[in-house]
A and B are shown apart, each in its own frame.
Chain A
Amino acid sequence: MTGAGRPADTARTFAQKALARASGHESVAVGEIVDARPDIALSHDNTAPIAEIWRQFGQERVSIPERMAVTLDHAVPAPTIRHARNHAEVRAFVAEQGVGHFFEVGRGICHQVLSEEAVVLPGDLILGSDSHTPHFGWLGAFGAGVGRSEMAVIWATGELWLRVPESIRIRLEGALGEWVTTKDVALTLIGDLGADGALYRSVEFEGPAIAGLSLDSRAALVNMMAEMGAKNAYMPPDEEVFRYLAERLLTRPGRRTGRGAEPGEASGEIVARLREGALHPDAGAGYAAEHLLDLSSVQPQVARPHQVDDTVDVGQLESVRVDQAFIGTCTNGRLEDLGEVHRVMSGRRTAPGTRMVIVPASSEVWNEALARGWVADLAAAGAVFGTPGCGPCMGNHLGVLAPGEVCISSANRNFQGRMGDRGSEIYLASPAVVAASAVAGRIVHPREVTE
């Protein structure tokens, strides 16, 4: 055991506990560098170029096939022959190496799918060659993004060095007001603390407001902490999270990893197992900074081009004409988000000159939206739908922008040129604000079109 001489009773952060577990130590200190073994190694359309790097090692087999999860989500279905060839290479590699968890075109975005499939569990370490891997903190897991070379090394060796980060604690109190969502909470935090406000740090949420947030809302908030520079983010998992996962584990028995339900196991037993595996920071753990946010003080926000931290209350924005409204992504493409859009747009129509693109985060979201009749209502309102996946978020796929065009988006980044031409502009907001703006043809508060 490393950490000799460290008092055993020192209060620890979530990050310390998660990285101690993943590196096989009883405890680890902030700033310590550990060799961590991820429970899950995530890659997506970038799996083929990572495989090309991995082949340089001369191994015949990856060392951790059962821990690998691969989704095709970033440009699906293939828009060009080059993309199609990339997908074909990914499929061939997955079959050749017996990758434990593979999800085809149309299943959805990696972070949403691995949550729905209960591939990632509370207390896990997941490393992903994707910058939104901190997403899994909504389940109480430690998720961090890595590069392609690092992912190749993880496949080859099963481990990667990580520095135990300082943590910042964000306490959430109060309740969200009408038309206010956790996207607005995230943009408020990022606007206040800056796009590097959590650089290298573990963002650990706590407080009485969390129990009142839906699971979809929690995921959106934790996901956005990537835009504050966080290494990972964390929300304490509660009984609602355990039940969500237990239901899914029950219907997915016999996983080759042994992470699914055991034969004959009851839901209550799975919940108990998940509860036992969950990690919670100790009272009195050391934080580099502590913040308090009263959710009732949050107003609908908009982040202006081209920085996520250039935020303003939607009501204070001067009139901004909108060419395209986009709903989707790992941040805000879930069922609750489509529900908000439906609430705003049903029985109304997109403004002349404004188009609306909706890309559900997963096939599960898509199927449920269909079953509830939302898709038909939204199509009647003028929306067009894309295949579950990342959509035009990073300018790869259908719905990209022309020079001079303005998009209001429920995504996570508004960097110059991200969704298409470098002369286009992206405003970020909640799904409700995006939907209202599609109806008005300019960026507005949802009140303006619903009252």
Chain B
Amino acid sequence: MNGPVDVACPFRGRVFRYGDHVNTDVIFPGRYTYTKSRPEEVAPHALEDLDPTFVERVRPGDVIVAGWNWGCGSSREQAAVCLRYAGVGAVVARSFDRIFYRNALNNGLLAIVCPEAVDALEEGADVEVDLDGSVIRHGGTSFSFSPFSPAVRSMIAAGGLIEQTKRRLAAG
């Protein structure tokens, strides 16, 4: 298992391309959902039913590029956690399922809507993702995405929703 990459700073990785409507059952199968929850338990099953060789090939900072409605289906948060702890820094898609989108950002996995990047980036392409600059770079090309709100960026900087809530509760 690779472990998570720090997405608050620009990071580099390679592109893994997938299609439309990739659902949470193939990202993290339901047969494990009530017996495996911790990051180190779920990461080895990332994309198991979509691309069984993914976990052997993924390296820290790699980026998934996909089509419409990534993460549809179940609310299971392990779908975001398994990708994050397998080393994925960002999923770049044409659109996201809303629960997956929230789960991803809450766990520090960037969920980036950027159709131009989806059109252009091929399997294996080397990319850099820059959260502060709201840009994805590949060779000499840049793809801008809508900046995340200050609230979302401060949550990511804090280490995700749980860390942020700990601070909030401690501050009273």
Contact = CB atoms under 8 A, between A and B. Distances in A.
Given A149-B162, A416-B25, A395 B30 contact: yes
Given A147-B77, A307-B21, A416-B26, 7 more contacts: A46-B34, A57-B166, A130-B75, A147-B80, A149-B103, A394-B25, A417-B29
B41 to A, nearest CB: 10
A436 to B, nearest CB: 27
Contacts of B99: 131, 145-147
B68 A82 contact: no
Given A415-B26, A417-B29, A195 B69 contact: yes
B123 to A, nearest CB: 20
22 contacts: A46-B34, A56-B166, A57-B166, A57-B169, A75-B34, A83-B34, A131-B99, A148-B77, A149-B77, A153-B162, A156-B169, A196-B95, A229-B69, A309-B21, A394-B31, A395-B30, A396-B33, A413-B23, A413-B25, A415-B25, A416-B25, A416-B49
Interface in B52-80: 68-69, 72-75, 77, 80
Contact of A417 (B26, B34, B35, B161): B26
Interface in A48-107: 49, 52-53, 56-59, 74-75, 80, 82-83, 86
Contacts of B95: 196, 199
A196 B69 contact: yes
Interface of A: 45-46, 49, 52-53, 56-59, 74-75, 80, 82-83, 86, 128-131, 145-150, 152-153, 156-157, 195-196, 199-200, 229, 231, 307, 309, 394-396, 400, 413, 415-418, 420, 422
A415 B166 contact: no
A417 B22 CA distance: 13
B34 to A, nearest CB: 5
B30 A394 contact: yes
A149 B155 CA distance: 13
A157 B169 CA distance: 8
A132 B85 CA distance: 27
A145 to B, nearest CB: 4
Contacts of A199: 69, 95, 97-98
Contacts of B74: 131, 394, 413
A149 B97 CA distance: 17
Contacts of A53: 162
Contacts of A157: 165, 168-169
A413 B73 contact: yes
A196 B23 contact: no
B37 interface: yes
B30 A229 contact: no
Nearest to B35: A82
B77 A417 contact: no
A275 B37 CA distance: 42
Interface in B1-47: 21, 23, 25-26, 29-31, 33-35, 37
Contacts of A394: 25, 30-31, 33, 74
Contacts of A229: 69, 72, 97-98
Contacts of B98: 199-200, 229, 231
A156 B68 CA distance: 34
B77 to A, nearest CB: 4
Nearest to B100: A147
Contact of B72 (A75, A146, A153, A195): A195
B105 to A, nearest CB: 10
